[in-house]
């Protein structure tokens, strides 16, 4: 992967960046995504944010090597603290866990003015992000799920708006967990991922049920049972 050839998951992220936007890529690593956006006339300007020295210097070197310093600002800082309020039209956060992405959004929400499109690609636990978006009054406008190198990735696209719009045809708990758009489309990757998850949950349920009876185990069994039934319904496995 480089600035001319992105991974499938990052190309999916890029697809949702509005044309001629100023985009902030948080956790930009080598700044491949911002460089790609500028070189392909997708964005008019970009910010590459990094919290640690190594990736920050890598991003800086990459941008300088391509003579893009006038269009891409490489900044060192924690999450959204690298942007000024109202400075960007789109924010991308990719390649982290869902809980961490939700935490970055929560910590930096004072930097958001409501005009920004959020394009978020968690490696795991996307439901943490959906829960945050719902709580903060964002509407999901699209989602994609894909498989790359044997791993499953979800891309969530959100803007300020009617938070209930995406969940009108699906129970909210189910939609938050598996994704309202993804559950409706139910493509091959979605079925593959959640069929495996269902199998895994059933195995854990059996292990806990066979163990000693404890209050915390009882609660865990209730939670697992709810999610197992939820997945069976989504996958229509009876």
Burial class (CB in 10 A: 0-12, 13-18, 19+), 31: buried
Choose among 100, 101, 99, 76: nearest CA to 91: 101
- Tokens 């197992």 appear where? 228
Q: Which region holds residue 230: left if phi is over 0, alpha if psi is between -120 and 50, else beta?
A: alpha
Structure-block tokens of residue 179: 């994704």
**How many whole angstroms separate alpha carbon 36 and alpha carbon 10?**
10
pLDDT band at 211 (very low <50, low <70, confident <90, very high): confident
Q: Is 17 helix (H, G, I), strand (E, B) or coil?
A: coil
Q: What is the pTM of this model?
A: 0.94
- Answer yes or no: is pLDDT of 238 > 90: no
Strand partners, 92: 25, 119
pLDDT tens for residues 23-63? 999 999 999 999 999 999 999 999 999 999 999 999 999 99
**How many whole angstroms separate alpha carbon 183 and alpha carbon 100?**
24
Q: Per CATH, which fold does 8-170 belong to? A: Rossmann fold (3.40.50)
**How many whole angstroms separate alpha carbon 163 and alpha carbon 141?**
10
User: Average pLDDT over the chain, rounded to whole?
Assistant: 95
- Answer yes or no: is pLDDT of 236 > 90: no
**How many whole angstroms separate alpha carbon 80 and alpha carbon 142?**
22
**How many whole angstroms separate alpha carbon 57 and alpha carbon 62?**
8
Choose among 184, 130, 188: nearest CA to 156: 130
- Domain positions in the chain: 8-170, 189-235
**How many whole angstroms separate alpha carbon 171 and alpha carbon 149?**
32
pLDDT tens for residues 144-198? 999 999 999 999 999 999 999 999 999 999 999 999 999 999 999 999 999 999 9
pLDDT band at 8 (very low <50, low <70, confident <90, very high): very high
């Amino acid at each position: 992967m480089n600035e001319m050839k992105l991974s499938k998951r990052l190309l999916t992220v890029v697809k949702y960046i509005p044309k001629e936007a100023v985009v902030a890529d948080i956790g930009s690593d080598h700044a491949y995504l911002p460089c790609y956006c500028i070189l392909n006339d997708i964005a008019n300007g970009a910010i590459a944010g990094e919290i640690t020295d190594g990736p920050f210097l890598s991003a800086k070197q990459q941008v300088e090597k391509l003579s893009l310093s006038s269009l891409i600002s490489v900044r060192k800082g924690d999450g959204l603290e690298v942007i000024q309020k109202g400075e960007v039209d789109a924010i991308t956060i990719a390649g982290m866990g869902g809980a961490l992405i939700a935490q970055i959004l929560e910590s930096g929400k004072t930097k958001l003015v409501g005009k920004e499109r959020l394009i978020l690609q968690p490696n795991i636990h996307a439901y943490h992000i959906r829960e945050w978006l719902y709580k903060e009054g964002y509407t999901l406008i699209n989602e994609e799920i894909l498989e790359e190198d044997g791993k499953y990735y979800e891309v969530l696209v959100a803007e300020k708006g009617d938070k209930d719009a995406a969940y009108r045809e699906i129970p909210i708990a189910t939609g938050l967990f598996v994704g309202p758009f993804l559950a409706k489309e139910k493509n091959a990757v979605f079925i593959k991922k959640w069929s495996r998850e269902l199998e895994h949950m059933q195995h854990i349920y059996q292990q806990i049920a066979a163990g000693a009876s404890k209050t915390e185990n009882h609660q865990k069994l209730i939670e697992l049972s709810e999610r197992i039934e939820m997945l069976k319904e989504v996958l229509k496995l009876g």
